[in-house]
Amino acid sequence: MQKIEHIGIAVKSLASSVPLFEKLFNTNCYKTEKVDSEKVNTAFFKQGETKIELLESTDPDGVIARFIEKKGEGMHHIAFDVVDIEAEMERLKKEGFKLLNDKPKEGADNKMVCFLHPKNTNGVLIELCMEKVQK
């Protein structure tokens, strides 16, 4: 794993959270994107090398909606850059970590992603992400 690529924050509403974070960071949101596979709308900010991803559920049964129901809004996951996501998934599986998906899946911002089960990682939801190769 390499540097922190982004930190994911679960919010109820991008309409109210985007202006809030724009004020907080004193910078504009540079991108919003709907990710159907995750049932979320995302909004991205860049602070130095690190991105912040705000996540709003598009479905009352989506993972973000359920997360907010249980824990409230706030820190949701930490994403790390990986060079070879399949190799990293294989390595982590061998180490006994549980992966939430068997194959890398489409994430926001041109990434292939995989999540680790937070039960094996002291409650921290970790995302591996790899920049998709341009075809």
- Rg for the chain (alpha carbons), in Å? 15
Q: Shortest distance, CB of residue 24 to Zn ion, whole angstroms?
A: 19
Does residue 8 touch Zn ion according to CB under 5 A? yes
Binding range to Zn ion, per CB under 5 A, among 22-30, 51-59, 88-96, 114-122: 51-59
Does residue 128 touch Zn ion according to CB under 5 A? no
Q: Shortest distance, CB of residue 87 to Zn ion, whole angstroms?
A: 20
Find out whether 106 and 112 touch, Cβ atoms under 8 Å.
yes
Instruction: Measure the CA–CA gap between 3 and 58, rounded to whole angstroms.
Output: 29
Alpha helices in 73-129 (DSSP H): 85-94
Q: Among residue numbers 99 through 118, which ones bind Zn ion (CB under 5 A)? A: none
